[in-house]
Structures are given as structure tokens and as C-alpha cells.
């Protein structure tokens, strides 16, 4: 990303000097392409909410687990299984020792008490160091997203099995792209991005996807969901619940797990999110809300006529509003009249402000917020010409 002075040019730079500061949402306005039928925000929109700050975590090593990011929900921190339960709600029967949990074979799978949906999930696991069995009988377990979709856990180090049951497989559906596995007994790391299917009136709006990194290597690349997957049977695409538990499988092997956490993901555009391509209906509703917020802010600026005018004109980029248009026009006419009444020496000090205001009017005219030949715009352009401010210095 380039700096403003290099990529935005003198127009945007001058606008930044005169527009009011908006706190966390500050940024250039009357600048990038305006909102359209499918995007409620302008390009480089200063009103667009800032991303939340997250303190990054630390990566794990074989010797110790890393630290989750600051906004993560920790599901297992290595101390106890109080946040987990057995299949039928009984206390989780697996053992905890030395900062990890371990499957107690034939006691049953466990699941979180916490329910969640779309997420970034981090989970570390280690197959037994002592190699026993082969194929699906070696270090087998599974990570079940929402208690249903399985990402296979298996010791595939020098161990061949069917491809869609390998380590990192979307089990029974899609093999991993590669097998970047560590030797038996060593910790393996899954980082998973999960988006559940979205259905409306029985029709798919978004099929849902799963992306998986194994030890930092991509093994599932935004794979579309085809149901939960399963052993020997082919599942079909269909709805998922909004929330579900994370389940870990008891497959008869003493597999270990540690450092389990997730980050909830914001809603997608198809379910009411405000980023990305939206339907026209959703876009216009969001634009109306943005415009209303800007008009409310303008109402607090009545002691500063030019800033009130700028905010009202800005609101009109998102939504037409007769009252806001009329008030902005009155303020614009008053602004021009005050400039015209200034002594020549005092007017000279307004050169940059006047030129930036013309840039604002040019932007508004480009996006049909004001008509061609808008009187305040014409008057300020004439002022610039009369004062010789349009001439390049020799």
C-alpha cells in the first residue's frame, strides 16, 4: 500500500487538511468511487468501521504450546476438562497430564460445552510415539466441527491409507493436498477456517467451506461442503445448525491434544454482513443507515457551518434526502457569500480551502449528488479564476 502523498495526489491531500477528524473512523472522504447497488461503502471510505485490534499470539514449539491471540476463546488450556463433556453429557472421561489431554481408549468421544459456528480453529495433536497398527488403525482420531464435519486425525507418517481418510482429509469427501506430517509422537498443528452452509427457503445461498492448514501447509483449499462426510457412505450438501460443539473422537488410540482455541468469524454478506458483495436490498438498507449516522453527526456541528455542510453533502452520497439537500445548499450558499465579502488580503488566505471545496463539489457532481452547473460550485470556480489561483507558478 502506498502512502497518500504518492498515490492519492494533491486533491486528496488537500481534502484531508480541511475535513473534520472522525476519530477511529477517520480517513479521506469525497475521494474513492462512491457506493453502488451492491457495495454500501465508498472505496477507501472514511466512515467504514476500523478493524478491531488483536494482539497476536505466539507460535508453538514441540516443547511447549504457543499463546492464543487476544480475542481467542480458549477451549483447552492444558489444565482440566471442565469445558468438555462426554457424548451424553457426563464428565469428559479422558485424562489430562503435562499440559495435554489424552484419549482414554474406548471411553467415548468428548465435546465442548461451548457451542459456536463459523470460526478460525486452532488445535494441536500428537499420535502415540510407539507405532502400533497400520492404515486407519494408527493414531486415529478426528476433529468434528459442529460435532459433525470431520477433519481426519491420523498418523500418516510412512503409513498409507485411502486418500480421503488421510491426515488433513475432509473425511470421506476430499483428500488433503499434501501430507506435511511430523514423525509419530511429535505435535501436529491444525489451523482451520470453517464456514457453515447457509440455506434460505430450502435453497443454498452459500454452500459453506472448510480451509485447513496442517503444520503451516495448506491441505484443504476453501473446500465446498458436501455434508458431514463419514465412513463408507457419501453424504450430500445440506443445512447445518447455526451453532454446535467441537467434538474429538475416541477411535481406540491414545492420541493427545493441546492448545485448543477458536476465534468467531463475522457474518458473511449472505447472512447480513456488511462487507463484500451484497444484494441491492441489503446494500440500500445499509446505505440508509450510514447516511442517517452522518446526518446525526452533522446535527452536532451547527456551530461550524462549513463542517456541517460537508457532512450533509457526504450523507447524500449514500442516500438522497430532501431536507439534508436543502440544508446543505443553504449552507453552501452562505459559505460562498461570506467568502465573496472578505477583503482581498483575507480572501488570499483561503486559497487552499476554496480549491479543496471545489474538489468536493466536483466529486459530488461526478456522482450526481449535485447537478451540473450547481451555483456554489460555479461561483467558487469563478473566484479561483478571478484570483489567478488556477495559474501554474512559473
pLDDT of residue 1: 31
Instruction: Report in angstroms the alpha-carbon separations of 30 from 51, 183, 267, 293, 315.
Output: 21, 57, 28, 17, 11
pLDDT of residue 9: 35
Task: Name 133's Cβ contacts closer than 8 Å, sequence gap at least 6.
Answer: 253
pLDDT of residue 88: 87
Architecture in CATH for domain 73-271: Sandwich (2.60)
Residue with cell 452562505: 334
Beta bridge partners of 262: 73, 121
Distance separating alpha carbons of residues 91 and 114, to the nearest angstrom: 14
All residue ranges of the chain with pLDDT < 50 are 1-24
- State pLDDT tens for residues 143-192: 999 999 999 999 999 999 999 999 999 999 999 999 999 999 999 999 99
Q: For the chain, which residues make up each domain, given as ranges?
A: 8-52+276-387, 73-271
Distance separating alpha carbons of residues 322 and 341, to the nearest angstrom: 29
Distance separating alpha carbons of residues 327 and 138, to the nearest angstrom: 74
What is residue 316's three-state secondary structure? helix
What are the start-end ranges of the E strands in 236-385? Answer: 247-248, 256-264
Task: Name 69's Cβ contacts closer than 8 Å, sequence gap at least 6.
Answer: 54, 55, 56, 57, 263
Q: 287, 164, 277, 175: which is closest to 231 by C-alpha?
A: 164
Q: What is the pTM of this model?
A: 0.87
Beta bridge partners of 144: 150, 247
What is residue 298's three-state secondary structure? helix
Burial 289-299 (b: 16+ CB within 10 A, else e): ebbeebbebbe
DSSP 128: -
pLDDT of residue 11: 31
What is residue 317's three-state secondary structure? helix
pLDDT of residue 159: 96
Amino acid at each position: 500500500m502506498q502512502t497518500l502523498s504518492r498515490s492519492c495526489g494533491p486533491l486528496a491531500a488537500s481534502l484531508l487538511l480541511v475535513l473534520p477528524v472522525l476519530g477511529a473512523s477517520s480517513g479521506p472522504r469525497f475521494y474513492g468511487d462512491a457506493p453502488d447497488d451492491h457495495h454500501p461503502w465508498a472505496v477507501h471510505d472514511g466512515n467504514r468501521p476500523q478493524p478491531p485490534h488483536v494482539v497476536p499470539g505466539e507460535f508453538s514449539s514441540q516443547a511447549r504450546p504457543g499463546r492464543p491471540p487476544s480475542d481467542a476463546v480458549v477451549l483447552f488450556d492444558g489444565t482440566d476438562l471442565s469445558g468438555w463433556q462426554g457424548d451424553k453429557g457426563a464428565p469428559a472421561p479422558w485424562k489430562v497430564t503435562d499440559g495435554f489431554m489424552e484419549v482414554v481408549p474406548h471411553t467415548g468421544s468428548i465435546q465442548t460445552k461451548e457451542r459456536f459456528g463459523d470460526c478460525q480453529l486452532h488445535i494441536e495433536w500428537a499420535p502415540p510415539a510407539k507405532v502400533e497398527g497400520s492404515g486407519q488403525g494408527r493414531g486415529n482420531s478426528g476433529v468434528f466441527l459442529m460435532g459433525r464435519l470431520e477433519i481426519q486425525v491420523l498418523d500418516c507418517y510412512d503409513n498409507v491409507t485411502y486418500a480421503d481418510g488421510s491426515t488433513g482429509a475432509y473425511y470421506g469427501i476430499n483428500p488433503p493436498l499434501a501430507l506435511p506430517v511430523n514423525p509419530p509422537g511429535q505435535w501436529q498443528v491444525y489451523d482451520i477456517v470453517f464456514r457453515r452452509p447457509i440455506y434460505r427457503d430450502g435453497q443454498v445461498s452459500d454452500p459453506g467451506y472448510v480451509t485447513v492448514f496442517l503444520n503451516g501447509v495448506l491441505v484443504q483449499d476453501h473446500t465446498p461442503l458436501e455434508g458431514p462426510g463419514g465412513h463408507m457412505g457419501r453424504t450430500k450438501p445440506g443445512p447445518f445448525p447455526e451453532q454446535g460443539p467441537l467434538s474429538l473422537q475416541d477411535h481406540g488410540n491414545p492420541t493427545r491434544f493441546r492448545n485448543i482455541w477458536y476465534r468467531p468469524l463475522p457474518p458473511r454478506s449472505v447472512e447480513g454482513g456488511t462487507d463484500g458483495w451484497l444484494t441491492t436490498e441489503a446494500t440500500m438498507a445499509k446505505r440508509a443507515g450510514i447516511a442517517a449516522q452522518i446526518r446525526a453527526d452533522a446535527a452536532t456541528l451547527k456551530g461550524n457551518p462549513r463542517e456541517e455542510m460537508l457532512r450533509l453533502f457526504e450523507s447524500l452520497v449514500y442516500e438522497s434526502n430532501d431536507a439534508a439537500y436543502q440544508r446543505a445548499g443553504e449552507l453552501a450558499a452562505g459559505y460562498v457569500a461570506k467568502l465573496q465579502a472578505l477583503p482581498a488580503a483575507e480572501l488570499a488566505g483561503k486559497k487552499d480551502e476554496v480549491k479543496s471545496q471545489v474538489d468536493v463539489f466536483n466529486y459530488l457532481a461526478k456522482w450526481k449528488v449535485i447537478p451540473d452547473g450547481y451555483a456554489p460550485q460555479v461561483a467558487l470556480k469563478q473566484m479561483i479564476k478571478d484570483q489567478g489561483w488556477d495559474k501554474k507558478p512559473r
